[in-house]
Each structure stands twice: as C-alpha cells, then as structure tokens.
Amino acid sequence: MEGVLVVAEHREGRLSPATFELIALGRALAVRTDGLRVAVLGSGVERIASHVAEHAEVVLVQDPLLREYTPGGYAQALAVVRRSVDPKVVLLPHSSQGFDLAPALAAEWESPIVTNVVGLSIEGDQALAYRKILNDKLVAEVELSSEKPFIITVRPGGKASDPLPSPAPITNASVSIDASKLGARFVRYEKPQVQDIDIASADIVVSAGRGIKEKKNLALVEAFAKALGGVVGASRPLTDMEWLPKTRQVGQSGKTVRPKLYVACGISGAMQHVSGMKDAGTIIAINTDPTAPIFEVAHYGFTANVLELLPAVVKELKGA
C-alpha cells in the first residue's frame, strides 16, 4: 500500500484546474510508491468522477451531506478513504478550500503538514518539501520524517496532467456523514455583481501596486495606460485600500488575465498576484528592487521608480 492520495477540488459542478496539477505531481511521486488515487467527495458528482478518471484512479465518496465542502464532512469522508487507500502522502491544492481542510486533517491524523509547497519528494518515511518564503525571495527545504501520512498543500500554477490512454477505474466507498460534526456549516455562495470594465478582456493591462505609494499617483498609471490604449488593473493591496474597485484586482482572489501586454508598475510579484497574470503574452515590470520576484515572470524589467519612469515614458511616446 502506501500510495499517493489527491483530494479533488470542485465547486458548483466544476473541477478546479489545481486538481490536475496535483495529479501530475502525484504521478511523479507514485513512481516510488504504491500508485496514485484521487478522492472525489460530493453528492451527485459522477460526472466529475468520470472526468478525473480520465487522469487517475478515483475513489468516489458520495453522501448528501458532502454536497458542499465542509471541513468536518470532508475529514469524515477522508477517514474512510484512508482506511481503504492507506496513503503515504495526501495532496491538496493550496487554495481557500485546501488550506481550510489540511490543518484539520493533520491534527486529526497526527500527521506532519507542510503547506504551499512548490516541490516535493518522498523517500520511505522521509519527505523533502520545497516552499518559497519571504515574498518568494528564498526557498526553504523542509525535511520531515514520520510513519504517519504527510499532509501537503501545493501552490497552484504547476503543470497539469495529461489524460491517460484509457480511463482508470472508479471505486465507490460508502460513508455515513455525521451532521453534528461538519465544523463550519455551508450556508450559501455569493457572487459579487459590480458594473465595471472587464480587465480580463483587455489586450493591454497596466497594473499598479504598492510602489505607487499614494492614491493620487494612480493618475500616472492611468495616463500611461491611456497612451497604450489599455486598462488599469491593480494588485491586492490597492483594492484592499479601495483606491480601485475590487473588479480591477489581478490575482488569485481577483481576476486571471492573459492580455497581449501586461505592465506591472510597482508590484513586487507575490504568488497571489503572479498566478493571475503569468500567462500574459509580454510582461514588463517596473520596480526599484532588482530582487523583486516579479522580475522572474517578467520578460522585461526596469529597475526604476515607477513614479519617475511613467511620466518620462509617456513624454517619450508622445514627443516622438
């Protein structure tokens, strides 16, 4: 036994793409262990299970109380899966749901846990996890050893799995979820409805970050965006301060954009932001700190004060 268990993430009938990233990582790890299985937990999720089975073997657990994610419901279902699968490592996405569930699981299983990892290797009872710390400026290699299964959340954005030549089997596991042990109970979803331009459909997005220092300096970013015929986006801190509406936020908790040109103005490049813009055609970053992680995803980097560079470049463009 001792295989790799991936916990599929889905919401409102849609699988999270992170699930296939976990399957890709799980396959690599499974080479040295006893195979890879994906737990699909839910109610009326046969279609999702079949989709996952195109990539890996599925353990399907269904119960009306699993219709929506709850930490307690998922933990109860995974306890059942654990008995049949006996995993050495459990992989979850480092997402709002993944890092909600993972610590509960680790505490219950008395398991070692490492979150937000960008790389992982397992050798017997030892795991070596790679994670980025301090604004992604350093990589920490964390070494764990335990006889218990390792609980790992994986930073989204990795390579997704390719489908198998033919679908893998789906095994049903039965469970009876105790309604009094769901933890936080699901009430409803809310989807913010705000009228604004859709930055995700723009060819050119010029985004501002904390480096612009003051709200009034947004005018410099707007002038530059206007010169290029683009729209203004923002990193999270700016929409948190309400300098721009939430609809302009680029990143994990905002919008994912793939414009032809993305200009990051005074944005350090935290994972939360980068995951929302890394696939842009051309990325230009302007930041005074040459070690800022934004320069790792950018194609062109300008190490200047954005407040000086933007007016100067607008002048250059218009003057010629």
Residues 42-81 touching other proteins, rule: CB under 8 A, are 70-72
* Contact call for residues 161 and 23 (beta carbons, < 8 A): yes
Return d(Cα 38, Cα 22) in angstroms, integer: 9
Tell which residue, 75, 72, 42, has the closest CA to residue 60.
Answer: 42
Q: How far is the CB of 302 from other proteins (least distance, A)?
A: 5
| 169 contributes a contact to other proteins by CB under 8 A | no
Q: Figure out which of the listed residues 1, 179, 184, 197 binds other proteins, where binding follows CB under 8 A.
A: 184
Residues 75, 77, 80, 85: what is their CA dihedral angle, to the nearest 10 degrees? -90
Q: Closest distance between other proteins and the C-beta of residue 133, in Å?
A: 5
From the list 2, 24, 228, 245, which residue makes contact with other proteins (rule: CB under 8 A)? 228
Number of residues that bind other proteins (CB under 8 A): 100
Q: Tell me which stretch binds other proteins (CB under 8 A): 57-65, 84-92, 100-108, 171-179.
A: 100-108
User: Is 235 one of the binding residues for other proteins (CB under 8 A)?
Assistant: no
Q: Interface with other proteins includes 1 (CB under 8 A)?
A: no
Shortest distance (Å) from residue 186 CB to other proteins: 6
Pick from 166, 169, 176, 191: which binds other proteins (CB under 8 A)? 191
Sign of CA dihedral 301, 306, 311, 312: negative
| Interface with other proteins, residue 140, by CB under 8 A | yes
Q: Residue 158 interacts with other proteins (CB under 8 A)?
A: no
For position 273 contacting other proteins by CB under 8 A, the verdict is: no
Cβ 140 to other proteins shortest distance, Å: 5
Distance between CA 115 and CA 224 in Å, rounded? 39
Residues 6-35 that bind other proteins (CB under 8 A): 11, 16
Helix (H/G/I), strand (E/B), else coil: 310: helix
Pick the closest to residue 231 from 273, 200, 266, 272 (CA basis): 200
Instruction: Tell which one of 268, 273, 274, 280 touches other proteins (CB under 8 A).
Output: 268
Among 104, 170, 173, 218, the residue binding other proteins under the rule CB under 8 A is 104
Contact call for residues 292 and 268 (beta carbons, < 8 A): yes
218-228 vs 306-319: helix crossing angle, rounded to 10: 30
Separation of alpha carbons 292 and 294, rounded Å: 5
Which whole-number Å values give the CA distances from 213 to 63, 169, 220, 221, in the listed order?
51, 55, 12, 12
Q: Out of 252, 257, 273, 280, name the contact with other proteins by CB under 8 A.
A: 252
Q: Given candidates 54, 63, 108, 279, which one binds other proteins under the rule CB under 8 A?
A: 108
Residues from 120 through 139 that contact other proteins (CB under 8 A): 128, 131-139
CB of 162 to other proteins, least distance (A): 22
Is residue 198 part of the contact set for other proteins (CB under 8 A)? no
Q: How far apart are CA 157 and CA 17, in angstroms?
A: 9
Let me know: does 94 contact 145? Beta carbons within 8 Å.
no
Pick the piece of the chain touching other proteins (CB under 8 A) from 27-35, 53-61, 113-121, 159-167.
113-121
Please identify which residue in 95, 161, 207, 235 interacts with other proteins, judged by CB under 8 A.
95
Largest alpha-carbon pair distance within the chain? 72
